[in-house]
Amino acid sequence: MDNRSYRQMTVKAAETLFGYYGRNGYDVLYDHSSTKENVGKIVSWFGDTYGRETELSQLDIAIVKKGSDQVLALIEIEEADDSPKTFMGDVFGVLMGDHIRFRGERELAVGAYTTLIVLAKSKVMHRKRNAYLYEEGMKVKSTLSTANAIIGNIVIETFADEKGLYALLSSVLDKALAEEL
């Protein structure tokens, strides 16, 4: 599968979020697509020196409070794999880091106000499995001493198609940003 073709849903979702949340007091940073100012790698990393050898994961989208570096939501969308291993790799690739950086230069701040959202396309919604992954992920998160473990909440959900992705993202973001709105 061509990497560009299966990332199309993610790019469309990011651009839709950029349009809506950008007008409503948020910066929407995302990976993939063009060379716009708000487009670039969003990376979870550890240690004192940022570089390829300290990168743990790359995220698709960050919703940031305008005029600050406070990340309210970090989003990873998996269009090709909804396995438990993929979900947990995404979750712990972020939580085991000490930093989140945009474009290799802008340090973003996470805290109890941040929600980590991992969504995957699936023919089956796997509600029971996703609930299990969430519960166990939250337990492990509470034992980590890394800086990113301060992230307040995790969301692990599946969607069936592009329409389902938009509906799910809207619902999850409304809940995640409720304290901000």
Convert the pLDDT of each residue in 55-85 to its tens digit: 999 999 999 999 999 999 999 999 999 999 9
User: What integer pLDDT is reported at residue 32 of this predicted model?
Assistant: 76
Return the pLDDT at 180. Answer: 61
| Average model confidence (pLDDT) across the chain | 93
pLDDT of residue 1: 43
For 27-60, write each residue's pLDDT tens digit: 999 997 666 889 999 999 999 999 999 999 999 9
Q: Any idea which residue has 């990332």 for tokens?
A: 7
Residue 120: which residues within 8 A CB-CB, separation 6 or more? 77, 78, 79, 81, 82, 86, 87, 157, 158, 159
- Give CA angle at 15 (17, 106), nearest 5°: 80
Q: Following DSSP, what letter does each residue of 78-117 receive, concatenated?
A: ESS---HHHHHHHHHHHHT-SEEEETTTEEEB--TT-EEE
Residue 12's pLDDT is 93
pTM of this structure: 0.94
